[in-house]
Structure formats: structure tokens, C-alpha cells
Amino acid sequence: MSLDRARARLEPPAADSIVPRRGRGTELILLMFAIGIATFAYINVDLGALGRVPPNALAYLGGLTAATGVAHVVIRIRAPYADPVILPIVVTLCGLGLAMIHRIDIARETTHATIQLTWMAVGVAMFVGVLIVVRDHRVLSRLPYLAGLAGLLLLVLPLLPVIGHSIRGARIWINVGPMTFQPGEAAKIILIIAFAAYLVQTRDALALAGRRILGIDLPRARDLGPILIVWVAALGILVVQNDLGPSVLLFGIFVLMIYVATERISWIILGLLLIVAGGLAANAVVSHVQTRVDFWLDPFIDPTGQIAQSLYGLAYGGLLGTGLGQGRPELTQISESDFIGSALGEELGLTGLISVILLYALLASRGLRAGLLLRDPFGKLLAAGLAAGFFLQVFIVLGGVTKLIPLTGLTTPFLSLGGSSLVMNWVLVALLIRLSDAARRPVPASSSSSPAADTAVTQVVRIR
Amino acid sequence: MSELTLTVIKLGFLAVLWLLILSVTSAMRADLFGVRPPKQPKPGREAREAARQTRQPRAGKGTPTKAVIVEGPDTGRSAALDGRPVTFGRGGDCTVPLADEYVSTQHARLRFHDNQWYVEDLGSTNGTYVGNQRLTRSTPVTARSRFRLGKTVVELRK
């Protein structure tokens, strides 16, 4: 009886008795706020660097408003219960990224910001497309092995002779007509979908079978197969493509998702051991990795001085930053892409950089929150995987830029210059919106109140 | 553009950025306090809500000053409510010792907190009830509220 009583006390407010607010009005207000910040940043850059208000500020404001307006209207129609804070956070991050790219454009006399703005439009189009085509996230779980195969194919695409293309030593690009594209970004999302679908089928075996040694539940040897395959695949990518980032990210996401699926800490321990083993092996064998570790330990032996410059920039920025347009972020190599974190840290200071990291954290937490609320295991895993992968990527790249961990080539989501990353992150956000809509949509009333629903085996749910 | 203006703009931008984060987090609070659906949500919850409404009429809202036993073997006895906790039970060390056989040695307690009296069950065998609801946690009570322990019914009065 006491157990029952304790349970009654602990029971959360019944999920189906409370409907979350739709929050479309909140979203609209926050979006206007976000667009305001983006335009403010853009004007501030010109004021700081050139001492004038940019002549096309109004056009910029109009363009941003049009793009986000379309996204907002589509959410209203296609995902009315979606989480109201996801889109505003994304628009803020995009705006900060655009302002910083524009700022580096001014210093280097390039026109990357225009390209990035075009890519953002493409990203919004993809966002709209995903929301319209994927009406229910559960259709994504239908073909786990095919999705896994497609993801791996995308990963090896850059290795093919004609279309493959290598930039700065990393062979992760393909030529599509006149443009280049990083298929790895698309592969990331497809592989997360495949992992989620696969783990839903196998998580019981992964969680329950096995022996217990030293308080840790060890999995059976044959259940180790998938994690070992992904590990080998990740190392393979690393060796042949000369790119550390995606392999660490891919393996990290997989380990985190296994952990979420099984709730067994042993998988995290195993994953960390495999990462350490793989890292040590790669450090010994692959020269590229060795250089990265050496530059991490001593940034000054790097001829390009990337990490040293990045640290100088961060120190120059200090607590409050130099102000937008008034630092020297162009001194750091590729500061418009991998090192945009340090460029932001220089001009916005620690205060600004922390706010950016918080925005990422809030976005990831909304993903996890959707995962908690969702009622189907595939959706739960997909939301957790997308959110964890997203935040892991931010950690890996910002950790590298601030010399916490060895630098690995990854983009900073939404901030970095780069079409494929921006577009694919918009797709990722579309999936998160779709998942949060499913999570917050109220349960049909019949299923909870009428006694007949308890006996019925299937439940017919209408999907708009 | 003077140095001072740029500094003000810089600080203003950081302030706005943090303001956005604050608005986002406050928007997230709405998730915790959702709105009730228009349709019948859950009969149990509604019934409990209704029971509390009838048991504690709005007119009687106010801080009670004494607890009067209105039913049971000890009918007529009362205890003053001056802010100190009041315990009910068959044990001699209770503030209000009861002769009711269906009452546990330490049965229930009235507790004053933040200008509000709460009744809570002390792990009794037969339970303490407000309306038809067995208490599982501290429950706020006001003047004219009643609660039942064993065969004894206690009413709070001004």
C-alpha cells in the first residue's frame, strides 16, 4: 500500500489531461525578436567596421522576414502544435552567422554573405519541403537497413574518382555541376534515422542479455556487432577521407543513442573505451590525426597558427568583446567557417559566446523534451539522437576552436559558412519541429476516457 | 561614429541577445503549465476538483482559528489553532487525543505554513479523507473544511 501511495505522490500530472499551448503566437513574437536581433547585428557590423548604416539594411530585413515568415506559416498549417522556441533560436543563430560572415567579407573583400543568404533560402525551402512531405515521423522508420546503406553510400561518395573533390586535405566534397556539396551532412541525418529505426528493433537484446561484472552490465559478444561495425566504419572514413570530425561525431551519436535506447551505462563506458582505443591507434597510424594532436598540444608549431590566432582573438575579445565590426577575426584562417566560434567570441566577448552556446543548449533541450513527451519509441530515439548529435557537433567544434580538445573539421551548425551544412541543419530542424508537433499534439479524447478504447487493439489516428 | 556610441551599441546588442534567451526560457515555462483541453479530460481529476469545490465553499475562505470535532466519540471537543502544529490520534501524546477505535496512535496533523493550514496523514492505517479523497500529500484546508479520520470528522471554524 505504501508503494502505491508513493507512486501516487510521484506520478507526474497526467500527460493527457493537459494540452500544451500551441504557442504559435509566442513563436511569432519570438521570431520578430530574432529577426530584429539579426538585423541589429548586420547594421552593427557596418557601423563598427565602416562607420555607416548599410544601404541595404531594409532589404536584408525584408529578406529575412520573408524567409522566416514562410517557415512560420508552414508550421502553422503543417505542425500547429510544434514547439514555439525552436524556429526563433534557429533564426537568431542564422542571423548571427550571417552578420559574422558579412563582417569577415568586409575585412577580406569577399561576398560570402550573399551566398550564405541564398543557401539560407534553400534551407528554408528544404525545411518547408520536409514538413510537407513527412506528415508523420513514423514513416521514416520503415526501411532501417536501406537508410543505413544510403547513409554509408553518401559517406563514401566523395571517394569516387570523378565527382569526389578534396579541399584543405579533407576529401569530403562532391561536385554537383558547378557547385560542391558535402554529402556527409546529409549522411549524418539519414544515419541517425537508420540508427533509431534499428535500435527500436534490437534494444531489448542490447539491454537485457549479457553478464554483470563489477556492477556493469556487459552486453553479449554477438550484440556487440553493430557498435563494432559503426566503429570500424567511422575509423574507415577517418583514414580514407582524412577527416576527423564526422567520424567522431558519427560514433558519438551512435553510442549516445544506444545508451538512450538501453539505459545501460555500460555502453557509454564501452564507447569511450573504443574512442580512446581508436584515437590512440589513429594517432599512431594516420599522420593527419597526429598533426592535429600536435597542434592541439602546442598551437604555435602550426604554420597557419589557426588555434593560436583563435585564442588571441578570444583573449582580445575578453568579457564583453570588441563590438561587432571592431575586432580582427579575419586574422584567423577559415574564421568564416570552422573558426566562426572564435570570431564571435572575439567581437561579442565571453558574454556573447556564452549566449550562443546557451541558444544551442536550449535547442538541444527542446529536442530532448520532445523525445520525453513522444509516445512511440522510434520518435523518442530519433528526437534524442538528433538533439544529442546536434549538441555533440557544437561541443566538438567549439571545443576544438577553444583548444579544449584536438581540432576536428566540423561546421558550427547555422553559423558557419557552407551551403550543405546550413541546408541539412534546416532539414534537421524540420524533423525536430515535426517530432515536437507529434509530441505536443493532444491524445484523441476517445482513447483516454471511453472504456472501449482500452480493449481496442488498434487506435485510428488521423494525421493532418 | 564615436567610440562612446559604439560601446553603447555593443552593450545594447549583448543585452538584447540575453533578453532573447530570457524570453525563450520564459516561453518554455508554458510547457510546464499547459492549458486544460475543452473536452472532458479525465473523470477522476474532475471529480476530485468538484469534490474540493463543494467541500470548501468560497464564502468560507479564511484562516480558521479552531478545529471542532463534529462526529465520532469525541464530538464537541475542540482545539485552538494558533499556528503550532496540531496532531490527532489515539496516543496520549497527541495534541488532540481521540477515543475513536478506528484512529491510529498518530493519525493526522494540521500544520500552518505561509498563512495556510494544511492537513496531512501521518501514515495511518485507515487513512485521512478530505471529501472522498484519501490524502496522499499535504492538503490545504480553510475555515469550514472538513476531514475525516476513522469515525471522527473534524471541522475547521473561524
Question: Is residue B11 within 8 angstroms of chain A, CB to CB?
Answer: yes
- Could you list the residue range(s) of the whole structural domain that residue B94 is in? 56-157
Q: What is the dihedral of CA A308, A313, A319, A320, to 10 degrees?
A: -170
Per the domain annotation, does B47 fall within a domain?
no
Question: How far is residue A193's CA from residue A223's CA, in Å, rounded to a whole number?
Answer: 20
- Quick: pLDDT tens for A332-349: 888 888 889 999 999 999
Do residues B109 and B146 share a domain? yes
B84-93 contacts at long range (C-beta below 8 A, 24 or more positions apart):
B84/B112, B85/B109, B85/B110, B85/B111, B85/B112, B86/B110, B87/B122, B88/B149, B88/B152, B88/B154, B89/B122, B89/B124
Which residues have C-beta within 8 Å of that of residue A275, sequence separation ≥ 6?
A248, A251, A252, A255
Q: Is the pLDDT of residue A448 over 50?
A: no
Work out the average pLDDT over B140-153.
86
CB within 8 Å: A19 and B34: yes
Work out the average pLDDT over A76-99.
93
**Which residues of chain B make contact with A26, given a CB cutoff of 8 A?**
27, 30
| Residue A332 DSSP symbol | S
Do residues B24 and B77 share a domain? no
Per the domain annotation, does B92 fall within a domain?
yes
User: B23 to chain A: nearest residue by CA?
Assistant: A30
What is the value of ipTM here, to two decimals? 0.82
Cell numbers given for A95? 542571423
Question: Is residue B32 within 8 angstroms of chain A, CB to CB?
Answer: no
CB within 8 Å: B37 and A351: no
Do residues B146 and B71 share a domain? yes
CB pairs under 8 A between A and B: 118
CB within 8 Å: A362 and B28: yes
CA separation, residue A390 to residues A154, A225, A332, A429, B13 (Å) = 19, 25, 25, 10, 26
SS3 A52: coil
Of B16, B27, B35, the CB nearest to A85: B27
Of A9, A323, A351, the CB nearest to B7: A323
Largest Cα–Cα distance in chain A? 75
CB within 8 Å: A51 and B1: yes
Work out the average pLDDT over A174-181.
72
Residue from A84, A18, A355 nearest B27 by CA: A84
CB within 8 Å: A358 and B21: yes
CATH of residue B100's domain is 2.60.200.20
**Which residues of chain A make contact with B31, given a CB cutoff of 8 A?**
20, 369
Per-chain mean pLDDT for chain A: 82
Of B24, B30, B34, the CB nearest to A89: B24
Cell numbers given for A198? 534499428
Residue A171 has φ and ψ, to the nearest 5°, of -95, 75
Count of the separate structural domains present in chain B: 2
CB within 8 Å: A44 and B27: no
Do residues B142 and B71 share a domain? yes
Min Cα distance A108 → chain B (Å) is 22
* pTM for the whole structure: 0.73
Do residues B88 and B130 share a domain? yes
Residue with cell 475562505: B61
Do residues B15 and B83 share a domain? no
Which residues have C-beta within 8 Å of that of residue A147, sequence separation ≥ 6?
A140, A190, A191, A193, A194, A197
Per the domain annotation, does B124 fall within a domain?
yes
Do residues B26 and B64 share a domain? no
**Which residues of chain A make contact with B43, given a CB cutoff of 8 A?**
449
Min Cα distance A115 → chain B (Å) is 25
- A334 CB-side CA count, 13 A: 18
Per the domain annotation, does B23 fall within a domain?
yes
Question: Is residue B2 within 8 angstroms of chain A, CB to CB?
Answer: no
| Positive or negative torsion for Cα A107, A112, A114, A116 | negative
- Quick: pLDDT tens for A117-136: 989 999 999 999 999 998 88
Choose the mutation target among A1, A2, A3, A5 for the interface with B, i.e. most B CBs under 10 Å. Answer: A5
Do residues B21 and B66 share a domain? no
- Quick: pLDDT tens for B66-122: 888 888 888 888 888 888 888 888 888 888 888 888 888 888 888 888 888 888 888
Do residues B31 and B61 share a domain? no
Do residues B70 and B120 share a domain? yes
CA A166 to chain centre: 24
Do residues B19 and B67 share a domain? no
Per the domain annotation, does B133 fall within a domain?
yes
Do residues B82 and B137 share a domain? yes
- Quick: pLDDT tens for A11-47: 444 444 455 567 888 899 999 999 999 999 999 999 9
